[in-house]
Structure 1
Amino acid sequence: MAESGDNSKTALVSELNGLLADHLALYFKTKNFHWHVRGPRFRDLHLLFDEQAIEIRDQIDDIGERVRKLGEDTLTSIGSVAKHTNIADQDNTKLDPDAMVRELRDDNRKVVDRLKGLKPLAEQAGDNATDGLLDDWTDMAEERVWFLDSTLQ
């Protein structure tokens, strides 16, 4: 692979690891809100948050394995996740349900933005497999945003 190809692959892997970090952080936050949501919409939001957490969890292994298939290393610790994620921690267990929904919606939008930024990197690296996966992952993240946003209306 040419020098520019190596640079393209390095940039792609770096962002894939960022995507992995975002998914790990978002999974944990979504489960946190699943466990701590309260109020008259408890059942609906409790179930929605769990459904979304499961979908995010199921993507984590695919993202990590994509990095490994490219011959590179994945994240290795909670510290490496914290270093690479765009998803801020949320330790407040007393947030009202709408605040939880807005925060998850906005965090999922950050994931959509990262996914869309990955698309040209996959193309530049000539990585058709990652390119194809990004379409599915983007659709899933956009659906999560839509569901969350629709609960606020």
Structure 2
Amino acid sequence: MSTSDLKTPTDLTSNATKSVQDALNAILADTFALYMKTKNFHWHVSGPHFRDYHLMLDEQAAQIFASTDDIAERVRKTGNTTLRSIGDIARHQTIKDNDKDFVGPDAMLKELRDDNLALVEHLREAKDIADDAKDNATSAMIDDWTDQAERRAWFLFEAGRKA
């Protein structure tokens, strides 16, 4: 069996779906990186707003993780293959990991906000690619993922505001 055995029938051209595949796999890698960072900060947040931040980050991580299956399945629906391993994610991600021993809560919120906004930029680029490929379904899904990332960035911004 080879990757050609995994080809899902589609009316989209192979060149167009390859561009969509590349864009979505990059977004998938960044989504996994953002999920892991959000969980990391959820597990390690401290300070006077611990409960609020802990719950918000857990909610955001769940939303981020839930989108990974939709992204990967969209790649498969276009007749392509998706990421296969942690190493594959690392080769495609642009969102940087944070392995520091300690990150203060304000820095956590800012970093996650900036990462979500970077994801929005990549989603907008992917939307252009999907639109050029006449891949309406992917384009519509990207709209939802963009709205979710913008909402997360907004909440992180508001939570990090000083009174």
2:76 to 68, 80, 95: 68
Question: Any stretches of 5+ residues in structure 2 without a counterpart?
Answer: 1-12
Does the residue aligned with 1:110 lie in a helix, a strand or coil? helix
Does the residue aligned with 1:55 lie in a helix, a strand or coil? helix
1:12 to 11, 20, 24: 20
Contact persistence 1:39–1:97 (CA under 8 A):
yes
Runs of 4+ in structure 1 deviating by more than 3 angstroms, as ranges, are: none
Aligned twin of 1:49 = 57
% identical aligned pairs: 53
Query: Normalising by the residue count of structure 1, what TM-score does the alignment of the two structures yield?
Result: 0.94
Distance 2:126 2:101 in 1: 33
**Hey, which of these two has a bigger chunk of helix by percent?**
1
Residues 2-151 of structure 1: pairs in structure 2 closer than 5 A: 5-151=13-159
1:119, distance to aligned residue in structure 2 (A): 1.1
Contact persistence 1:21–1:84 (CA under 8 A):
yes
Aligned-CA RMSD value: 0.9
Q: Number of paired residues?
A: 149
Q: Which has the larger radius of gyration?
A: 2
1:72, distance to aligned residue in structure 2 (A): 0.6
Distance 1:8 1:69 in 2: 13
Question: Any stretches of 5+ residues in structure 1 without a counterpart?
Answer: none
One-letter amino acid of the counterpart of residue 96, structure 1: G
Contact persistence 1:36–1:93 (CA under 8 A):
no
Distance 2:41 2:142 in 1: 26
